[in-house]
Chains A and B, each alone.
Chain A
Amino acid sequence: MVDNIGGSSSNDNGDFVIKEQDRLLPIANVGRIMKHILPQNAKISKESKETMQECVSEFISFVTSEASEKCRKERRKTVNGDDICWALATLGFDDYAEPMRRYLHRYRELEVDKINSNNQEIRGGNGPHA
């Protein structure tokens, strides 16, 4: 399935060069995360933020490829959160896999809560159910 991501640059090179904003995460967000982990007096060059943007996109591609390969072998069409966790662990990012599983677990709990409270609203309030 070919997606038109609406970002191909239409210059003489045709589809060769893809607009940066489509393949990279925003520099402001990346810079903020970097700043957060560094001491107050640290400075971050613009080039290092740009390099970090490139690295993160490569990280996403690297892990996603591994996860989607697993899905292909198991004849599943949808890459889910567990596939990502599995890929992280397989590729050596064990330290991330466990916090990810906990994050995913918490997300699912919130999801169930949210759906339950939505259903209560639809039924017309918080009164006891028959």
Chain B
Amino acid sequence: MRQAGAYSKLLCGGISRRTGPHSLPLARIKKIMKKSSEDVKMISGVAPIVFSKACELFIEELTRRSWNIAIDGKRRTLNKDDVASAVIATDLFDFLIDLVSNSHANLVAGECVASNTNVFDSIF
């Protein structure tokens, strides 16, 4: 990355002092951005910072909506189905519908990575 020195200090320290710490790791955000599309070539230093804020807002909104569903069900524990229901109930989150209906398969895949077993043996 071209940006180093003053910029990286700013990313780590400067903005934190006045606007609060970045609550999400910028390097990881950048990795996820790079994997999203073949078109992604270069990412400016500020883009992951913008995303760290946007992701915070996204998590807050989805959590709030999920919590309302838990409350309707007279529960005080937020569970995975509450999140899935909130996604289904919100047009803005349509891009997540496949993900939440597949979430069981994804979790199984994650466990397979950890235990080094074959994904397909576990699902089928």
Which residues of A are interface residues toward B (Cβ below 8 A)? 1, 3, 5, 9, 11-13, 16-17, 19-20, 22-23, 25-26, 29-30, 32-34, 36-38, 41-45, 47-48, 50-52, 54-65, 68-69, 71-72, 77-81, 83-85, 88, 91-93, 95-96, 99-100, 103-104, 106-108, 110-111, 114-115, 118
Known: A43-B77, A79-B44. Contact between A11 and B116, CB under 8 A?
Answer: yes
Known: A58-B99, A118-B6. Contact between A78 and B116, CB under 8 A?
Answer: no
Known: A45-B77, A45-B78, A48-B80. 9 other contacts (CB 8 A): A5-B35, A9-B113, A11-B113, A13-B119, A22-B31, A32-B23, A52-B63, A55-B62, A108-B46
Q: List 26 A-B contacts (CB under 8 A).
A: A1-B41, A3-B34, A22-B31, A37-B63, A45-B80, A51-B80, A51-B100, A52-B63, A54-B106, A56-B58, A58-B99, A60-B32, A60-B33, A61-B36, A64-B40, A77-B41, A79-B42, A79-B43, A81-B49, A85-B50, A88-B54, A100-B53, A106-B18, A110-B14, A110-B19, A111-B7
A9 to B115, CA, bound (A): 12
A43 to B79, CA, bound (A): 9
Residues of chain A lying within 8 A (CB to CB) of residue B42: 77-79
**Other-chain residue from A54, A91, A114 in contact with B10 (beta carbon distance below 8 A):** A114
A68 to B76, CA, bound (A): 40
**Other-chain residue from B18, B40, B54, B91 in contact with A79 (beta carbon distance below 8 A):** B40
Interface members, chain B 26-80 (any A CB < 8 Å): 28-29, 31-37, 39-44, 46-47, 49-51, 53-60, 62-64, 66-67, 76-80
| B interface residues, tally (CB under 8 Å) | 70
Mask, B66-105, CB within 8 Å of A = 1, is 1100000000111110111001000111011001100100
A107 to B77, CA, bound (A): 37
Residues of chain B lying within 8 A (CB to CB) of residue A62: 36, 95
Task: Give chain B nearest CB distance to A45 CB in angstroms.
Answer: 5
**Other-chain residue from B57, B78, B93, B110 in contact with A42 (beta carbon distance below 8 A):** B78
Is B107 part of the binding interface, using a Cβ–Cβ cutoff of 8 Å?
Answer: yes
A50 to B96, CA, bound (A): 14
**Other-chain residue from A19, A79, A114 in contact with B6 (beta carbon distance below 8 A):** A114
